[in-house]
Structures are given as C-alpha cells and as structure tokens.
Amino acid sequence: MTSLPPPIQPLCDARGNLLPAAVGWSTRPRVHCALRGHLGRRKRWNHWCVTSPRWMLSLTIADLDYVGYGAVHFLDMDSGEVFSRSQFRAFGQGCTLPDTPQESHAFDHPNLQLRADAQPRRLRLTAIAPDLGSQPLALALDIQRPAHLESANLVAPFGRKGFHAASRQLGLPASGSLQLGERQYQCHGGQSFASLDFGRGVWPLRSHWTRATFAAPGGIAGNFGSGWAEDAGFSENALWFGGSLLPLDCPVHIDPLRSEPLAPWRLSTDDQRVELIFTPRQYHHTQPSFGPFHVTTGQWFGHFEGLLRSPAGERVPVRSALGWLGSSNALW
C-alpha cells in the first residue's frame, strides 16, 4: 500500500460526531474519513466506472457494517450483452476499505476478487471472476492520476447525527484490457476514462438519489446529482475544464424527455452553464438485497452532447462524451 502524507483534517471526533472543521468543499482530498461509533449505521463505499467506446465496466466494494458487498458489471456497447456478478460477506468480511480516497482497496470472495492497488499518481485495477454470466473474467487496467487533475470533495451533515463525506474523481485516463471468455476488450487510447465514487459516512436509513457523470478528451468532465446533500445546503455538482474543477452554485435539472426506457434526458442549469442531452444506448437494473435491506438502481449508459460554459464564459462543446445516468432507492 502506498504511503500518504499525514491527513490534515479528521472527519469525526473520538465519539464519532462530525467535526465542523471537516464540513465543506475542496478540490483535493483533505479529510481523513475514519468512522467511529454509530455501529451498524456506518457506510463505506468505493465505486469505479470505466468507460470506453465499445464497452463500460463498473466495480463496487462496499462495507455497510452488517454486510460487505462486491460487484462487477460489464456491458458490451455493440451487442448490448450484460454480464454481472455480486457477492455478499457478513459483517464486512473480505472488504479492505481505507479512510482516504487515494489508498489501495479490495474485496475478496471465492467467486469474485477485486483489487485497486495504489501507486504514486496511478492505480492498478484488477478483477477475477470465474463465472461472470457463465464466462470467466480477468481484467487488468492502469488508471492514471495526473497531478494537475482536481477532484470534487465534499463533507456535509445529515440531520442531527448523520453525515456524508465524498470524493468524486473523474476523467482519469485508463489503459489496459479485460478478457471475458474468449473475447478481449481493449481500452482506446485517449478515449477511455475511469471515475471513482468514494463515500464514507452515517447515511439515512431510507435514501434516494439521481446522479450522472461523463468524461471527454481534453480534461472535460461533469458530475451532476440531486436528492442527496441539498437539504444541508451543499451540492456535488461540478464541471472540469482542462482538469480544473468548477463547482456549480445552482441545481442541475435532470429530466427525461419522454417516458420510454431509452428516451433522452435533458440536463440543464438556470445560469446556462450546463446545456446537455444524454442519449442512452443501454439500460441496466439491479436490486442487491440482504435480508430487509436493499439498493434498487436503474442505470443508463450512453453519450452526452451539448454545451458547457467555462469560468470565463466560453462556450465549450461536448460531443459524444461517454457516460452514465443512474437513479437509486435504498433501504440500508
């Protein structure tokens, strides 16, 4: 595991209460997210999504205190074939999840092994699944973490005792390949990107959120969401221009244009910084459950088109940028 500089700000005090000094926005990870107290209610979540012109891949490692969860989802964009595998481990066994977003993490189960091995300014993402839709999966991807690339980092309170800490890292260049059965899929140079959704906190028992992300060549990317931290006066909405981050001050409206499953969506802001159309190519639905607890997610994969406005007011076109849009309801 790569050593890191000492963290500059703890998330919680010794009793597990959120520290006011941790609350707020930053463009670099600055909070050490060790969770204390709140036994049974703590959430640790690392989700990777890799987009490439011919395929998309997502990997999830989660420790919900009472259960550990690992999942891999692969989509062939040409054929529409979907291959998935999810596994549970009681009380978080098999999960190795750190307290900062730059460190290594892993999930270990006989039917699914996921690893993210951190090194200086890069990360090695690997997965092995003997049976992914009746075919073996083996992948090895190199994810770059350029020094100039900023990230969206937020700590927000939830109600009286809950809180949420997140790091959204988008537009990370990806290279390498994956083998699914007899088929091999390569990353396309300059067109394949990874994103990390790092979350830690004490989250509401019943939760709902909508989120959309995309990345394009030239360091252009977007992270949009609703239903999560707005009640606390915070938002994770952000744009990237050349790797520099611009937080968005106003809400992003995320609206389907029609009721069909693969109908386009419009994403817009009142200040016209965001004017995008998302056109899905594939849809995927999951509902992992453990006893009475579950997370129901609908996820669309496709392309973003439209315009963004830079901090200087420049109109920045977005053309066929790969990304996804998801809507989730959780009882956890």
Residues 211-255 pLDDT 10s: 999 999 999 999 999 877 776 778 899 999 999 999 998 899 999
- Tell me which amino acid residue 118 is: A
> Is residue 183 assigned to a domain?
yes
> Is residue 3 assigned to a domain?
no
CB neighbours of residue 242 within 10 Å: 12
Residue-wise pLDDT tens digits, 93-129: 999 999 999 999 999 999 999 999 999 999 999 999 9
Number of domains in the chain: 1
Domain span holding position 50: 20-331
Confidence class for position 7, pLDDT limits 50, 70, 90: low
Q: Which two tokens stand for residue 137?
A: 């999966």
> Is residue 7 assigned to a domain?
no
> Is residue 60 assigned to a domain?
yes
> Is residue 11 assigned to a domain?
no
> Is residue 246 assigned to a domain?
yes
Cα(168)–Cα(308) distance, rounded to whole angstroms? 19
Give ∠ CA 38-225-44 in degrees, rounded to 5: 25
Cα(328)–Cα(208) distance, rounded to whole angstroms? 6
> Is residue 305 assigned to a domain?
yes
Place of tokens 């990230």: 151
Cα(293)–Cα(101) distance, rounded to whole angstroms? 26
> Is residue 259 assigned to a domain?
yes
- Coil vs helix vs strand at 218: coil
**What's the rounded mean pLDDT across residues 137-165?**
94
Task: Say if residue 33's pLDDT is above 70.
Answer: yes
Give pTM, 2 decimals: 0.92
Task: Say if residue 3's pLDDT is above 60.
Answer: no
